[in-house]
Amino acid sequence: MSFGAQAAVVEHTFHVGNKIVNRLCEERTIVAVNNKFPGPFIKVHEGDTVIVHVVNSSPYNITIHWHGVFQLLTPWADGPSYITQCPISPGHSYTYKFKIVDQEGTLWWHAHVSWLRATVYGGLIIHPRLGRSYPFPKPHKEVPILLGEWWNANVVDVESVGLALGVPPNNSDAFTINARPGDLYPCSKKHTYKLKVVQGETYLLRIVNAALNNQLFFSVAGHSLTVVAADAGYTKPYKTDVLVLAPGHTTDVLLVADAPPARYYMAARAYISAVVPSFDNTITTGIIEYEGASSKSTPTLPPLPAFNDTPTAHKFYTSLKSLEPHKVPLTVDESMFVTVGLGFYDCLANGTCKIAASMNNASFEFPSKTSLLQAHFDGAAAGIYTADFPDTPPTVFDYTNQTRTLNPGPLIVTERVTKVKRVKFGATVEMVLQNTALVGIENHPIHLHGFNFYVLAQGFGNYNTKEGWRKFNLVDPQVRNTIAVPTGGWAVIRFVANNPGIWLMHCHLDVHLGWGLSMAFEVEDGPTIESKLPPPPVDLPRC
């Protein structure tokens, strides 16, 4: 094999169970892995095999998803519940086994059932294989920065209330850096995350947005940051004072400790693309402390953009480019135009409806008796799913027409269905993702399992099929697994379906996932043994 003698096997056991933590002046019980919050880091070299034995001692059903890992010919290890496996029920175990190939940088893992990923998550760090180096000077130290949200309430309850009533649940109670709210929140000062630095040295911050429902701005007082990778792919160095990450995104940045020795805040706060009635606008903080600085001195806060600063977010999202040119396929086999947004279902005679979210007006219903992948493997889709996910929306849509809400028709009242898009092995798929913003004006971070995609273009207004291609970057587009489709705007992505199986695509705001903002690709087997879906592992959980 080309992986060479150096490729190693990295093995972990994840004990999932209850853990008691103190946050925001209260003692709470959360679900955590190996009694750690955030969970353990997985560190590998590209080419390694990862084996994780997940033992579920928690009171909940659990699955773990390895966010951004290609899972080439290992779809049974992908993890989304009822998509590639039935959940691991309390008292049971399952072993995930997969290889990390052709990606370097930072990814992460998280629970993919209910809202448990609020506390069940951790970093997955992929170093270059032995003998290779970073395409940038070796940093003095590597520092994981996991941004998250903290909920005082039990997140499983928050989710089920939101789904049952079909109304948005409350917001989280804090944002966090490495699971700590930071010293601007009550009772949190003592546990503020602290990074000690030496003047003149360079630090590689591996930043993950693990928050459930919020995009986040991030910056460091007195320092600029140089982006070198995103979603485990190297980028051209991009210098900036502020980052924005949608849930699911990872961004690696170099920070040079070149400021006068003192204490500086690193900080994050929500980026919400429009005004919403209530949300947590508090800044979560960590402290960068220079060697020799007084540990009592007051740190300075960085100037973070306003919570609705879309121009700043858009500038960041559109400025990244791949380090090396790519051979983007120029011929498209499957061309899709997909609306993403919120709407309603279950409307009663009195006019009240539940909130639904959908893609091309199909609001995705997760199966409950088996997984889609099992049904696909058994050739038994009947009664579980249909392969008629539409390539186009049910009605012509004009975002720029201000009277659109008078007659949004079938784009707004949706039905709950389980539809997949069937594609041939090796097909090049292009998707225009158009944000409807008919109800709930916000960005939708759309995440694709099993593949990276090229981001060819992004913009505002209606996507113009005639002119869009002129703006495509077919040379060095950023390569991502998650794209924040802007409010009232669109993004065009392209990927090659070179991995047989069932692959979920969904909004990484968990509240929208539960409401149905999701679909799946069914990639057929190819002609060779390397392109056929292998049978499930013997310990795969059954429903």
Stretch that binds ligand C2O, among 249-257, 376-384, 492-500, 504-512 (CB under 6 A): 504-512
Q: Of all helices (H) and strands (E), which one includes residue 120?
A: none
Residue among 421 and 449 whose Cβ is closer to ligand C2O: 449
**Residue 161: what are its φ and ψ, rounded to 5°?**
-65, -45
CB of 517 to ligand C2O, least distance (A): 11
**Residue 181: what are its φ and ψ, rounded to 5°?**
-65, -30
The two tokens of residue 113 are 């059932």
Distance from C-alpha of 506 to C-alpha of 140, rounded to nearest angstrom: 37
CB of 518 to ligand C2O, least distance (A): 9
CB of 7 to ligand C2O, least distance (A): 25
Distance from C-alpha of 103 to C-alpha of 143, rounded to nearest angstrom: 19
x/- site string to ligand C2O, residues 50 to 69, per CB under 6 A? ---------------x-x--
Residue among 188 and 418 whose Cβ is closer to ligand C2O: 418
CB of 303 to ligand C2O, least distance (A): 30
Pairing between β-strand 26-33 and β-strand 453-460 as defined by DSSP bridges: unpaired
In the numeric block, the tokens 């979920």 are attached to: 504
In the numeric block, the tokens 């995009």 are attached to: 215
* Nearest residue to ligand C2O on Cβ basis: 67
Residue among 126 and 267 whose Cβ is closer to ligand C2O: 126
Our finding on whether 112 is near ligand C2O (CB under 6 A) is yes
CB of 205 to ligand C2O, least distance (A): 20
Stretch that binds ligand C2O, among 125-133, 178-186, 325-333, 502-510 (CB under 6 A): 502-510
Pairing between β-strand 250-256 and β-strand 263-271 as defined by DSSP bridges: unpaired
Residue among 208 and 457 whose Cβ is closer to ligand C2O: 208
Q: Tell me if the bond preceding 135 is cis, omega within 30° of 0.
A: no
Stretch that binds ligand C2O, among 128-136, 359-367, 486-494, 500-508 (CB under 6 A): 500-508
**Which one of residues 447, 480, 494, 512 is an interface residue with ligand C2O (CB under 6 A)?**
447
- Applying CB under 6 A, the site for ligand C2O has a residue count of 11
**Residue 356: what are its φ and ψ, rounded to 5°?**
-130, 160
Our finding on whether 449 is near ligand C2O (CB under 6 A) is yes
Q: What is the DSSP annotation of 238-304?
A: EEES-EEE-TT-EEEEEEE--SPSSEEEEEEEEE-SS--S----PPEEEEEEETTS-TTSPPBPP-P
Our finding on whether 80 is near ligand C2O (CB under 6 A) is yes
Q: CB of 241 within 8 A of CB of 217?
A: no
Q: CB of 129 within 8 A of CB of 83?
A: no
CB of 78 to ligand C2O, least distance (A): 8
Residue among 219 and 499 whose Cβ is closer to ligand C2O: 499
Sign, Cα dihedral of 247, 249, 250, 253: negative
Residue among 219 and 250 whose Cβ is closer to ligand C2O: 250
Three-state DSSP class for 407?
A: coil
Residue among 230 and 255 whose Cβ is closer to ligand C2O: 230
**Which one of residues 504, 511, 520, 540 is an interface residue with ligand C2O (CB under 6 A)?**
504
Q: What is the DSSP annotation of 426-438?
A: T-EEEEEEEE--S
Residue among 112 and 480 whose Cβ is closer to ligand C2O: 112
Task: List, in order, residues 6 or more apart from 378 with CB less than 8 Å away.
Answer: none
Q: CB of 32 within 8 A of CB of 120?
A: yes
List strand residue ranges (DSSP E) for 298-350, in order.
Answer: 334-345
End-to-end CA distance of the chain, in Å?
A: 36
CB of 8 to ligand C2O, least distance (A): 25
Q: CB of 343 within 8 A of CB of 360?
A: no
Stretch that binds ligand C2O, among 84-92, 138-146, 427-435, 501-509 (CB under 6 A): 501-509
CB of 72 to ligand C2O, least distance (A): 17
CB of 507 to ligand C2O, least distance (A): 10
Stretch that binds ligand C2O, among 32-40, 322-330, 369-377, 503-511 (CB under 6 A): 503-511
CB of 529 to ligand C2O, least distance (A): 28
Our finding on whether 249 is near ligand C2O (CB under 6 A) is no
Q: CB of 375 within 8 A of CB of 85?
A: no
The two tokens of residue 416 are 């709950």
Residue among 48 and 510 whose Cβ is closer to ligand C2O: 510
**Which one of residues 248, 488, 489, 536 is an interface residue with ligand C2O (CB under 6 A)?**
248
Residue among 80 and 536 whose Cβ is closer to ligand C2O: 80
Judge residue 8's burial from the number of C-beta atoms within 10 Å of its C-beta, 0-12 exposed, 13-18 middle, 19 or more buried: middle
Q: Of all helices (H) and strands (E), which one includes residue 168?
A: none
Residues lying near ligand C2O in the complex (CB under 6 A): 65, 67, 80, 110, 112, 248, 447, 449, 504, 506, 508
